[in-house]
Amino acid sequence: MPERTLQLICPAGSLPALKAAVDEGADAVYIGFRDATNARAFAGLNFDDGTAQQGVRYAHERGARVLLALNTYPRAGNWQRWTAAVDRAARLEVDAVILADAGLMAYARRAHPQLALHLSVQGSATSYEAINLYREQFGIRRAVLPRVLSLAQVENVVKHTEVEIEVFGFGGLCVMVEGRCLLSSYTAGDGPNTCGVCSPAKAVRWSETPAGLESRLNGVLLDRYGAQEKAGYPTLCKGRFEVAGATYYALEEPTSLNTLDLLPQMQAIGIAAIKIEGRQRSPAYVAQVTQVWRAAIDACRAAPHAYAVKEQWQSQLNRVAEGQTHTLGAYHRPWK
């Protein structure tokens, strides 16, 4: 049977970020290799075999686990890159691999039966029927749910599966159902599900103009910032566009998911783990967010009926939130 305690899973885009998360009390960190096999393939981020070995050793010596994200989809011409990544994960003795592609799960189960498999959010499994199918076919132990379900829907999934359920608790939101977004491919030629990043760095351009700082993706204007505005990494879904004479965030406003208020409910319905988004963020971000969430989860575990979100926690998270605003996202739908 799965372990149904509320664990804290934190992002690590680098070895310093991994150490920061572990030092601040993460139960597990998730990392990726320096290639297109993971969905945060930014230049300067991620792990080679040497730094991955150091990270696994550092985490294990301190009682934390390491999960490896191989959560993009292989292409027919380079299948071996993804299978080789599974082989590397097994050699590194990571605690689990996070996979989206069914063929890769079949390979991992056949070649490395001792390797624990988690279903990535990129797999887009939103029903217990889908999750149970992955368990029957590939033996997955945990599934990460897309950020499109209400808390009642999450509860229904938990009730009908023996697979551990992990949900996102804090960080950037995705306007699409993860694993099914092709939006950036319309301008950059590559989508996040195959090349590992929504806006490939080679297609991103910044320029100072008389009208303000402009960001473009393969020549397409995504946003223009005034002198006092904070600029974010450009993605199509979070750009400002002119629609019917008005310029605004037509698809999604920059905001961070923040579910601190929902921790008692999440614990009560049996969610196994809370995931923090942000492998592309700095070690300082990882340390700050991990510190807050460790304190909050510990407080909720100790006294769920007396749990209350502390002002200092929200203040700390406000400083690192995308767009400096928070939302409960799809978890909270007052009309339901």
Helix (H) or strand (E) holding 141: none
Other C-beta atoms closer than 10 Å to the C-beta of 40 total 23
Distances in Å between the Cα of 298 and the Cα atoms of 59, 62, 292 are: 20, 18, 10
DSSP assignment of 259-310, as one string? -GGGHHHHHHTT--EEEE--TTS-HHHHHHHHHHHHHHHHHHHH-GGG----
Beta strands 212-217; 204-209: pairing state: antiparallel
| In the chain, where the domains are located | 7-173+255-331, 185-249
pLDDT in tens, the chain (336 residues): 344 579 999 999 999 999 999 999 999 999 999 998 988 877 788 999 999 999 999 999 999 999 999 999 998 888 999 999 999 999 999 999 999 999 999 999 999 999 999 999 989 899 999 999 999 999 999 999 998 889 999 999 999 999 999 999 998 777 666 666 777 777 877 767 766 677 777 888 999 999 889 999 889 999 998 887 877 778 887 888 888 889 888 877 777 789 999 999 999 999 999 999 999 899 999 999 999 999 999 999 999 999 999 999 999 998 887 665 667 777 776 544
3-state helix, strand, coil in the chain (%, to 5): 40, 20, 40
User: 7-173+255-331 adopts what CATH topology?
Assistant: TIM Barrel (3.20.20)
Cite the beta strand spans of 116-255 per DSSP E. 117-119, 142-144, 164-172, 204-209, 212-217, 220-225, 240-243, 246-249
Token match 């605690």: residue?
95
Beta bridge partners of 167: 274
The closest of 196, 200, 237 to 32, measured between CA atoms, is: 196
Closest CA to 200 of 79, 47, 43: 43
